[in-house]
């Protein structure tokens, strides 16, 4: 499926529960999104051939798992939008399956609309920053003269290098801001930087050096 330019304001929804559909529609419309509801996955996938949504909500349950087929189809064809799975069943295996198949989040009904909309907008923000995040692969995280960094420290440093705050990194990695502060302090100690600015200067100085002398 050749994905078209993303519609920043369209959200696709599949949900048999009329109350949930209405609540989602009202909550998202208040934030300026256009909500389009579909009767089934086939209708959504057909429409998605011409319009790429800003996000998708798909209902699944323990018996009817057809929503997973829609999720897998969207992900197998590289749909770039965040996909939220909703379910009246909060079983852990169901949530694990949703995340394993590419869901951005798993939400148990009854939904708290304000919380769902907040989580949805966070996912949209992360998606909109994906171009910047893609630059992580181009950043060398080796700083000469410093102690080796752990895998987690490298993750934190990579996100610091693209300008994220402690809170943003914490949200992305599922950790507390205080934990991120601890990782940053450890990174600075290992690298020998006294301030965050000095740390980033050393990282980017090293990358500029490598660009000149590959």
Distances, alpha carbon 42 to alpha carbons 13, 34, 79, 100, in Å: 12, 20, 15, 22
On average, the pLDDT of the chain sits at: 79
pLDDT at 208: 41
Q: Reply yes or no on whether the pLDDT at 140 is more than 50.
A: no
Q: Reply yes or no on whether the pLDDT at 1 is more than 70.
A: no
Please state the φ and ψ torsions of residue 10, each to the nearest 5 degrees.
Answer: -95, 135
pLDDT at 38: 93
CB atoms within 10 A of CB 49: 12
pLDDT at 166: 85
Query: Residue 1, Cα to own-chain centre: how many angstroms?
Result: 21
Beta-strand runs (E) in 7-130:
10-14, 34-37, 55-59, 83-87, 105-108
Q: Just give the CATH number of 10-128.
A: 3.40.50.2300
Residue 201 CB-half CA count within 13 A: 7
Q: What is the DSSP letter of 62?
A: S
Instruction: Check residues 32 and 137 and name the one with the higher pLDDT.
Output: 32
Q: Just give the CATH number of 132-212.
A: 1.10.10.10
Please state the φ and ψ torsions of residue 89, each to the nearest 5 degrees.
Answer: -110, 120
Task: Please state the domain extents for the chain.
Answer: 10-128, 132-212
pLDDT band at residue 86 under the 50/70/90 scheme: very high
Q: Reply yes or no on whether the pLDDT at 8 is more than 90.
A: no
Instruction: Give the span between the Cα atoms of 87 and 78, in whole angstroms.
Output: 23
The residue whose two tokens read 């599922």 is 174
Q: Reply yes or no on whether the pLDDT at 37 is more than 80.
A: yes
Query: Residue 57, Cα to own-chain centre: how many angstroms?
Result: 14
Instruction: Give the span between the Cα atoms of 209 and 158, in whole angstroms.
Output: 18
SS3 32: coil
Mean pLDDT value across residues 56-78: 88
Instruction: Check residues 123 and 15 and name the one with the higher pLDDT.
Output: 15
């Amino acid at each position: 499926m050749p994905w078209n330019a993303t519609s920043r304001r369209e959200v696709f929804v599949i949900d048999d529960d009329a109350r949930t559909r209405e609540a989602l529609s009202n909550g998202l419309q208040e934030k300026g999104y256009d909500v389009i509801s579909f009767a089934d996955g086939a209708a959504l996938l057909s429409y998605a051939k011409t319009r790429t949504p800003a996000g998708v909500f798909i209902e699944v349950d323990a018996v009817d798992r057809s929503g997973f087929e829609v999720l897998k189809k969207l992900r197998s064809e590289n749909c770039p939008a965040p996909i939220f799975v909703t379910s009246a069943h909060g079983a852990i295996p169901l949530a694990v399956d949703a995340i394993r198949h590419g869901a951005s989040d798993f939400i148990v009904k009854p939904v708290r609309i304000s919380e769902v909309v907040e989580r949805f907008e966070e996912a949209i923000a992360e998606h909109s920053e994906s171009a910047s995040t893609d630059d992580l692969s181009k950043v060398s995280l080796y700083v000469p003269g410093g102690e080796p960094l752990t895998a987690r420290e490298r993750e934190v440093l990579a996100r610091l290098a693209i300008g994220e705050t402690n809170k943003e990194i914490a949200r992305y990695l599922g950790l507390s801001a205080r934990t991120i502060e601890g990782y940053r302090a450890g990174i600075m100690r290992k690298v020998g930087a006294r301030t965050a600015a000095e740390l980033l200067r050393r990282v980017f100085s090293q990358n500029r050096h490598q660009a000149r002398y590959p």
